[in-house]
Amino acid sequence: MSVHNERAKEELIHLAAQYIQTASFPESLITVTRADVTSDFKTMNIYVTVLPESAEDKAIKFLQRHKKNFKHFVKTNSRIHHLPFFDFVIDAGDKVRRRLDEISKDIEVN
């Protein structure tokens, strides 16, 4: 990935976190963990975690409904000319990491 695309990716991650913080509902905490973008910069998956986990479905549906608003937010708050197609995904890797942390804490206690 070019340096330009890497900077744009980082800016988009920051903007996604900003947008979610202002637009999301107060019952859950939605956190942007990372993003993957295709080499042609046409598609970007934004990975999120949701607490409590029971609100994941509701949060993803919310984010999917707000893709158009998010794209408008990015257009007005950045100088990136060619925006990718955005998709929001639950970060399964982070869920595994948190579970491993819980297991390791249990082992340390015993």
Residue whose entry in the numeric block shows the structure tokens 């330009």: 4
List the domain boundaries for the chain.
3-109
Chain centroid offset of residue 67 CA:
12
- Which sign does the torsion angle of CA 104, 31, 45, 13 carry? negative
Q: E-strand spans in the chain?
A: 29-37, 43-51, 85-90
> pLDDT for 62-80, tens place per residue?
999 999 999 999 999 999 9
Per CATH, the homologous superfamily of domain 3-109 is: K homology (KH) domain (3.30.300.20)
Q: Which of 13-17, 24-28, 53-57, 102-106 has the highest mean pLDDT?
A: 13-17
What CA dihedral angle connects 2, 47, 17 and 78, to 10 degrees? 30
Which pTM does this prediction carry? Answer: 0.84
